[in-house]
Structure 1
Amino acid sequence: MSVRLKLTLSYAGFLMVAGVLLLAVVWLFLLRYVPEVIHTPESSSPPGFPGPSFIPDQGDLTRAFFPRALVALGLLLAFGLLGGWLLAGRMLSPLSRITEVTRSVAQGSLTHRIRLPGRRDEFRELADAFDTMLAQLEAHVTEQQRFATNASHELRTPLAITQALLDVARSDPDTDAHELVRRLHAVNARAIDLTEALLLLSRADQRTFAREPVDLSLMAEEATETLLPLAEERGITLETSGDITLAGGSPALLLQLTTNLVHNAIVHNLPDHGTVWVSTRTSPRGAQLTVENTGPALTPMLVSTLTEPFRRGAARIRSDHAGVGLGLAIVRSITQAHDGTLTLVPRPDGGLRVTVELPATQSP
């Protein structure tokens, strides 16, 4: 049976029970004041005068009450079925609208919305929650499609370069083999870095890691020591500060997050004599890691797009250390996987300030 029919029968059944109870109360009330048998003396009225008035007993009341009660119950049943069917249809009409939108979504259209009118009730809250879910799902699918397109383009680039190098070498017998090997090695290394970055990004999104206390100050020190040669090569000064700052999460992922931030701050800096500040501290809301660097002036609009995949500063530039354009995208995914917040703010004097705030944890 449909939900509407079930509700109709429920309404009618409840109405019938209420009617039977009401008639039973009426019957008991009348029965209380009517004797079982009426004894009347023989008439002593003078000739020509009418005898005593007729007084009904319980038998007469029963014969008069029950047929009419059955008729009333029949009418009540018909009214309950008709009224219940109309009321159930009116109550379930929002579900019909929700069902239509759900079917459209099931066919692949994420642009439909319910937008249920009327006062805020349970159906309105359900429809609004469904619309919010559809909006988030549409945004996520759009982002994934854009990411897949960019990833395909980035993966295709090293393959196309490799193919071009091999075609040139095959057509030119005098090609320098050592130079060809060097260039192929560089292209292959870039393809490997991109693949590993994509795998790391997928791992962070899936949250398939164990959580343990991690000292962010140690992560900052290890990242700066690893990237110190790159900073010295570019004339960048690295400064670290902060006490023990414990956060709960994956040591490998949090080290990758810190390394990406420091690497990004070094690469996107001034041509020389730039500075990178790395600090950690415990705030009332959790453990905080801040990476700040000098550099060119950035607009808030540009900064808001830096965490998108395959964005490299102000443009899609390439250099020996430009990376694959997934550094800040990986930072964002790792931060979200650790239930943290990522904040990017342009510095007034140029450069960027990146703050990662993670839930604090106690030392084991």
Structure 2
Amino acid sequence: MHRASGLSVRLKLTLSYAGFLMLAGALLLAAIGVFLLREGWLRTNEEGVWRATPGTAFVYGFAPVAAVVMAFLLVFGLMGGWVLAGRMLAPLNRITHATRTAASGSLSHRIRLPGRQDEFRELADAFDAMLARLEAHVAEQQRFAANASHELRTPLAVTKSLLDVARADPGRASDPLIDRLHAVNARAIDLTEALLLLSRAGRQSFTPEDVDLSLIAEEATETLLPLAERHGVSLETEGDFAPATGSSALLLQLAMNLVHNAIVHNLPDRGGVWVTTGVRPGTVVLTVENTGEPIAPDVVSTLTEPFQRGTERVRTDHAGAGLGLAIVKTITHAHDGTLTLTPRPSGGLRITVELPAASAHRGSGTPPRP
């Protein structure tokens, strides 16, 4: 939700505290003035000027002293109110940070707010309990997907072997039905492997290691170069040393999915794919850009959802399992990165993966190809 900018809660509390202190000081000084009047220490002369009665010369300085006191109360109220508001709102800042962390996809973070029970601690404990339930629910779903996919591998492998034997039988004439069953079985195997990879990537159960995205991109493009040649798509790779930390196997799968997606969802002929890497302050980027048919922005926003391909991008010969970009999104989030999909004005898609740079190699470099 877009909201207009306004004063922070801390500043509002500071101004409220200072205003209350100023009001209390003004009432106190007014009470002192009334007391002086009632006791006859202050009275007006014929010209209407306030004068002190004889023997009470100390009240001549009442007005200047009152002004100094009010100025002191204002400064003290602002400074003290700012400090007190900061101390009071410190738990809320921790809760806000945990909320943003959870919104980014990390459900393992907990607030664990110390101290005795109060409204902030109750809110923090309730939020921690909610995160625990969400994490358990997501983990249960991932285990179910992994177990179901694993159980499907064996019957699919047996079916594939039987179909291979039937297709290779020299005494049997070619049967289109067997060929179609073989294609359906192969697609089911691909879908099962993709679901397994998706569940493993979502669990973040990998040991971080130093990787170079530029080498990952080169390996992916070299592996898929024959596929690009068969589709009549040119494949270009360039970029700088891009050090990151994560799983080299998962990041290679990410790059393979992006490049494969860019090749098969391209123009029928004379299409192009550009793979670039670069370094930004604190992050490294991998960008895969391809030509193709124009894509509506509302379609682009759904492409990372499982089994959402977009009708404009489906090729009859390479429809895929519909999990390629979903796997890319999961791997990106598992590495605390961001994934951005942008339709190109001339048609096609630009996909950018931005990951935290390795701490030992942080710096600036050449940005990715526009």
Shift of 1:359: 1.1
Distance in 1, Cα, partners of 2:126 & 2:292: 44
Shift of 1:320: 2.9
The match for 2:186 among 186, 189, 193 is 189
RMSD over aligned Cα atoms:
3.7
SS of aligned partner of 1:305: coil
Shift of 1:125: 3.8
1:231 aligns with 2:263: no
SS of aligned partner of 1:357: strand
- For residues 280-334 of structure 1, give each alpha carbon's deviation from its aligned partner in whole angstroms, at most 9, with x where no partner exists: 0011131110001111111221111100011223369463322211000000010
Contact 2:265 2:313 in 1 (8 A): no
The match for 1:205 among 194, 202, 209 is 202
Name the structure 1 match of 2:329.
332
Name the structure 1 match of 2:364.
none
- For residues 156-176 of structure 1, give each alpha carbon's deviation from its aligned partner in whole angstroms, at most 9, with x where no partner exists: xx98xx8xx99xx9xxxx973
SS of aligned partner of 2:311: coil
Name the structure 1 match of 2:263.
266
C-alpha distance 350-131 of structure 1, shift in aligned 2 (>3 A): farther
1:167-186 maps to which residues of 2 (within 5 A)? 176-177=173-174, 179=176, 181-186=178-183
C-alpha distance 346-134 of structure 1, shift in aligned 2 (>3 A): farther
Percent of aligned positions that are identical:
64
Name the structure 2 match of 1:341.
338
The amino acid that maps onto 1:202 is S
Shift of 1:129: 3.9
Contact 1:268 1:313 in 2 (8 A): no
Shift of 1:346: 1.1
Shift of 1:130: 7.2
The match for 2:302 among 291, 305, 309 is 305
Contact 2:264 2:315 in 1 (8 A): no
Distance in 1, Cα, partners of 2:259 & 2:330: 17
C-alpha distance 314-179 of structure 1, shift in aligned 2 (>3 A): closer
1:106-185 maps to which residues of 2 (within 5 A)? 121-122=119-120, 125-126=123-124, 129=127, 176-177=173-174, 179=176, 181-185=178-182
Distance in 1, Cα, partners of 2:263 & 2:186: 21
- 4+ runs deviating over 6 angstroms: 134-137
Distance in 2, Cα, partners of 1:296 & 1:136: 39
SS of aligned partner of 1:350: coil
1:250 aligns with 2:247: yes
Distance in 2, Cα, partners of 1:326 & 1:259: 13
Distance in 1, Cα, partners of 2:313 & 2:238: 32
Aligned length: 228
C-alpha distance 243-184 of structure 1, shift in aligned 2 (>3 A): same
The amino acid that maps onto 2:336 is D
The amino acid that maps onto 2:199 is S
1:217 aligns with 2:214: yes
Name the structure 2 match of 1:354.
351
Shift of 1:140: 6.6
Distance in 1, Cα, partners of 2:193 & 2:313: 20
Question: Structure 2: 5+ residue runs without aligned partners?
Answer: 1-117, 362-370
Distance in 2, Cα, partners of 1:283 & 1:201: 28
Contact 1:340 1:359 in 2 (8 A): yes
Deviates further, 315-324 or 262-271: 315-324
The amino acid that maps onto 1:312 is R
TM-score normalized with structure 2 length = 0.53
Distance in 2, Cα, partners of 1:349 & 1:309: 26
C-alpha distance 136-303 of structure 1, shift in aligned 2 (>3 A): farther
Contact 1:310 1:316 in 2 (8 A): no
1:281 aligns with 2:278: yes
Question: Structure 1: 5+ residue runs without aligned partners?
Answer: 1-119
TM-score normalized with structure 1 length = 0.54
The amino acid that maps onto 1:332 is K
C-alpha distance 177-233 of structure 1, shift in aligned 2 (>3 A): closer
The amino acid that maps onto 2:319 is A
Which of 1 and 2 has greater Rg? 1
- For residues 25-72 of structure 1, give each alpha carbon's deviation from its aligned partner in whole angstroms, at most 9, with x where no partner exists: xxxxxxxxxxxxxxxxxxxxxxxxxxxxxxxxxxxxxxxxxxxxxxxx
